[in-house]
Amino acid sequence: MSVNSEAKKQYEANRQNVAGRQSDAPKPKGGRGRALMRLIRTLFSFYPKLLPIVVVCIVVQAILSAMPATFIQRALEIVTATWQSGDWESVSGRITTLTLTLICVYAVTLVANFTQTRLMAIITQGSLEKFREKLFDHMQDLPISYFDQHQRGDIMSYYTNDIDTLRQMISQSMPNICLTVITCCSVICVMVYYSVWMALVVILGVCFMAYMTKQLGGRSARNFVAQQHEISVVEGHVEEIMNGQRVVKVFCHEDAAQEDFDVRNERLFRASRAANMYTNTLGPILMNLGNLMYVIVALAGGVFIAFGTPNVSISGLAFSVAVTVPFLNMTKQFAGQIGQISQQINAVVMGLAGAERIFELMDEEPEHDEGYVTLVNVRNNGRDAIEECEERTGNWAWKHPHHDGSVELVPLRGDVRLSHVDFGYKPGHTVLHDVSVWAEPGQKIAFVGATGAGKTTITNLINRFYDIADGKIRYDGINVNKIKKSDLRRSLGMVLQDVNLFTGTVMDNIRYGRLDATDEECIAAAKLAGAHGFIERLPEGYNTMLTDNGSNLSQGQRQLLSISRAAVADPPVMILDEATSSIDTRTEAIVQKGMDALMNGRTTFVIAHRLSTVRNSDAIIVLDHGRIIERGSHDELIAKRGTYYQLYTGAFELE
């Protein structure tokens, strides 16, 4: 078996697993019907004044569109009655009045249509903007676990493809469907007014057309939903391959990558083909059924007139040409309206599929935050005590309300303690076992161990990116569950192994650590981290624009900016996760000097594979498969001649 065939089989197996996980995701109860009602309610909440005006315009158009048939009937009645006498002068005024009235009807219809079109342009684009805002705002509240479990390309698909499917649905399909439904109701009322028997003939034909629409439209709908899903899969895969293009080329994986893409693209093609096949078939079928119904109505009218069938109507008119001809026009109008619905099925189903996905994201559980302890600025009140203040003093305290109504200010010192902590990313799969770590203010604690030992997981728990299963984590004596997450994270600085820089200037990226930092403070932070030298050599210094995650900088330079960003935040606790792993030895010496200054007086947690960087730690904790197997200073662990000694002396590799 070829490598590509094996990869393809593996891909199919993985796709089944992904599909299984996605099927467990929460779906809107009630399917597309509930999604439609929720979409309508949301649109009314966006534009509570403009949408009612649009609805009124649609109702006016629908009702007035049924009126020409009455004018035609009246004109034919006048013409038929006058044909025998030939006295056209006596009826010319009545015909002129009918004509002018009809012109006024069309004029009002035109104004209503113009108003509706203009307002719907505002509502459509404004609604898409508000949906994107709501999605992005909600996304900021989602837990880190959501982004760990979803591809970035799939998430991007919400903002591009799914939002775009709503554009045509909101701007054209929904108004047209409303207009069609009200128009059909108006036409039915006019039909019943003139002849119940003729109306029944039309209604029977319409019922058959509605049955065909349901059968073909329902099959189309299922495939359009599948198409939306497959589009997100393809976009996620393309985004992944684009990000890993260097790796693809280094390992000559172009053919296998192409084959993987072809498999996904083929699934998208099959879903799209089936969806559009049913939709494209429906239009011609309904058009021909409409023509057939027109002929049947004409024949029925002729038969009723020929046999003198008694007419049942509200108007009290007998069967005549004056009744039959308007019916033919109304039949054509009715069939045309049903055809309009069939043309909108494509956009409606795609829009509802997109709406379901959008509401699915909006219904994702946000990150829970039951904390009530906040971080506040404090100053010394001159009586050996601290008090809360508005201005930034550089001194912080935890504002801790108690059940008895009292409020305690606990100075922020950076005392972090984990006691008998157990944790697992999934229930039943524990990755940390009975972990206890204590760091007093100003201490440097280092975590050492193989990849997957649990080093980064511990720091993620301190930040409360995840919540522990058992045990306690206390920060300055306060359970971290009581501290608001935003305040907790504001007191912690992080330098990660994977650097993320944003589009903007170098100064903007450093200031990301604290948005109210001055230029002087940002420059001071860069000097502290050892980044000032290379920044000065950039074409525009601190005003140099960075794009594409800082691709115009080396990995070491990007890491230096990341360290500068943490330095300007000036937090009491620092977490350095492999902060020097991407820096060469010469640069590491520069960075280490800056980091030592940065860590001075701060509680610091360091994760490092280079053991030379953790020698001066107050405590080194050796982890293995989520358990602490050794703890002590560098000299103490060397004296024990255990795992750390073997790692440090190279008796065996860290991995």
- Look at residue 267 and tell me whether its pLDDT is greater than 90: no
* Distances 32 to 351, 352, 454, 650 between C-alpha atoms, Å: 10, 6, 43, 62
- Per-residue pLDDT at 449: 85
The phi, psi pair for 470, rounded to 5°, reads -155, 155
Residue 484: which pLDDT band, with cuts at 50, 70 and 90? Answer: very high
Residues 358 and 451 in one domain: no
Percentage of the chain beyond pLDDT 90 is: 20
> What are the tens digits of pLDDT across the range 273-289?
877 776 677 767 777 77
Looking at the structure, do residues 450 and 570 belong to the same domain, yes or no?
Answer: yes
Residue 271's pLDDT band (boundaries 50, 70, 90)? Answer: confident
Which residue range is the domain that position 406 belongs to? 374-411
The answer to whether residue 291 is domain-embedded is yes
Long-range contacts from 147-152, C-beta under 8 angstroms, 24+ separation: 149/21, 151/236, 151/237, 151/239, 151/240, 152/236, 152/239, 152/240
Residues 599 and 638: their CA atoms lie apart, in Å, by 24
**Count of C-beta atoms within a 10 Å radius of residue 255:** 11
Whether 17 maps to a domain, the answer reads no
> Which has the minimum average pLDDT: 98-112, 163-177, 195-209?
195-209
Q: Do 317 and 353 sit in the same domain of this protein? A: yes
Res. 653: pLDDT tops 60 = no
How far apart CA 324 and CA 73 sit, in angstroms, is 9
Helix (H, G, I), strand (E, B) or coil at 391: coil
- Mean pLDDT score, 166-175: 86
Can you read off the two tokens belonging to residue 581? 């792993």
391 and 442 co-located in one domain: no
Quick check: 12 pLDDT over 60?
no
**Can you spell out the DSSP letters for 63-108?**
HHHTHHHHHHHHHHHHHHHHHHH---HHHHHHHHHHHHHHHHHHHH
pLDDT-based confidence at 7, cuts 50/70/90?
very low
Q: Is the dihedral of CA 463, 467, 469, 474 positive or negative?
A: positive
236 confidence band (pLDDT: 50, 70, 90): confident
pLDDT over 60 at 14, yes or no: no
Residue 622 pLDDT class (50, 70, 90 cuts): very high
* Rounded CA separation 463/466 (Å): 8
Q: Give residue-wise pLDDT tens across range 374-430.
A: 999 888 876 678 888 888 887 889 999 988 888 999 999 889 999 999 999 888 788
- DSSP character string of 291-322: HHHHHHHHHHHHHHHHTTPPP--SS-PPS-HH
- Note whether 381 and 236 are same-domain residues: no
Contacts of 538 (CB under 8 A, 6+ apart): 506, 544
**Residue 20 clears pLDDT 50, i.e. is over it:** no
Distance CA 256, CA 267 (A): 17
CB 349 within 8 A of CB 271: no
Helices (H), 150-195: 152-157, 163-168, 174-194
Same-domain pairing of 358 and 386: no
In angstroms, rounded to a whole number, what is the distance separating the alpha carbons of residues 399 and 376? 7
Question: What is the tally of structural domains in the chain?
Answer: 3
Task: Examine the pLDDT at 111 and tell me if it is beyond 50.
Answer: yes
> Do 191 and 62 share a structural domain?
yes
With beta carbons less than 8 A apart as the criterion, state whether 539 and 500 touch: no
Confidence of residue 235 (pLDDT cuts 50, 70, 90): confident
Residue 353 is given by DSSP the state H
Structure tokens, 554: 């080396």
Mean pLDDT in residue range 485-510:
87
Q: Are 490 and 475 in contact (CB under 8 A)?
A: no
Q: Select the more confidently predicted residue: 436 or 73.
A: 436
Q: Has residue 29 got a pLDDT over 50?
A: no
The larger pLDDT score, comparing residue 269 to residue 334, is at 269
Residue 444's nearest CA partner among 579, 627, 585, 581 is 579
Task: Give the residue, 649 or 74, on which the prediction is more confident.
Answer: 649
d(CA 193, CA 312): 9
Structure-model confidence comparison of residues 592 and 484, the more confident one:
484
Tokens of 48: 């509570």
- Tell me, yes or no, whether 50 lies in a domain: yes
Distance between CA atoms of 28 and 354, rounded to whole angstroms? 12
pLDDT in tens, 517-554: 899 999 998 888 888 888 999 889 999 998 877 878 88
Within 8 A by CB and 6+ apart from 312, the residues are 195, 196, 197
Q: Is residue 326 part of a domain?
A: yes
Q: Which H/E stretch holds residue 535?
A: helix 532-536
Distance between CA atoms of residues 591 and 529, nearest Å: 6
One domain, residues 391 and 248: no
Segment 614-632 mean pLDDT: 90
Stretch 289-296: mean pLDDT, rounded? 81
426: DSSP letter:
B
437 within a domain of the structure (yes/no): yes
Task: With a cut of 60, say whether residue 26 has pLDDT above it.
Answer: no
Q: Which residue is it, tokens 């534009």?
A: 47
Using alpha carbons only, give the angle 58, 68, 340 rounded to the nearest 5 degrees: 50
Q: Is residue 534 domain-shared with residue 507, that is, in the same domain?
A: yes
User: Are residues 272 and 337 located together in one domain of the fold?
Assistant: yes
pLDDT band at 438 (very low <50, low <70, confident <90, very high): very high
CA distances from residue 562 to 520, 585, 595 in whole angstroms, order as listed: 17, 18, 12
Model pLDDT, residue 482: 93
Band the pLDDT of 22: cuts 50, 70, 90.
very low
CB 340 within 8 Å of CB 176 = yes
Does residue 15 lie within any of the structural domains? no
Say whether pLDDT at 31 is over 70: no
Nearest to 439 by CA among 464, 414, 421, 408: 414
Which strands sit side by side in the sheet containing 470-475, from one edge to the other? 432-439, 416-423, 470-475, 478-479
pLDDT score, position 530: 80
Q: Say yes or no: 153 and 182 in one domain.
A: yes
Picking from 326, 341, 362, the residue at the C-terminal end of a domain is 362
Whole-angstrom distance, CA of residue 451 vs CA of residue 623 = 10
- The pLDDT value recorded for residue 16 is 45
Token pair listed for 594? 């800056």
Across 20-24, 51-55, 239-243, 303-307, which has the greatest mean pLDDT?
51-55
Residue 19: what pLDDT? 39
Phi-psi region of 454 (alpha: psi -120 to 50; beta: other; left: phi over 0): left
Q: How confident is the model at residue 15 (pLDDT cuts 50, 70, 90)?
A: very low
Q: Say if 356 falls within a structural domain.
A: yes
Q: Cβ atoms within 10 A of the Cβ of 557, count?
A: 21
CATH of residue 82: 1.20.1560.10
The radius of gyration of the chain from alpha carbons, rounded to an integer in Å, stands at: 36
Q: Rounded mean pLDDT of the chain? A: 81
**Tens-place pLDDT, residues 570-618:** 888 888 887 666 666 676 676 677 677 777 778 999 887 777 778 888 9
- Residue 581's pLDDT is 64
Contact criterion met (CB below 8 Å) for 620 and 632: yes
> What integer pLDDT is reported at residue 305 of this predicted model?
81
Give the model confidence (pLDDT) of 47-102 as tens digits.
999 999 999 999 898 888 777 767 666 776 666 666 666 666 666 777 788 788 88
**101 vs 457: which has the higher pLDDT:** 457
Mean pLDDT of 195-222: 76
Residue 7 belongs to a domain: no
Task: Tell whether 229 and 268 lie within a shared domain.
Answer: yes
- The CATH number of residue 538's host domain is 3.40.50.300
Run of H or E including 645: helix 643-649
- Residue 473 and residue 464: Cα distance in Å, rounded? 10
For residues 445 and 179, the model is more confident at 445
Maximal CA-CA distance, the chain: 127
Q: What are the beta bridge partners of residue 623?
A: 449, 628
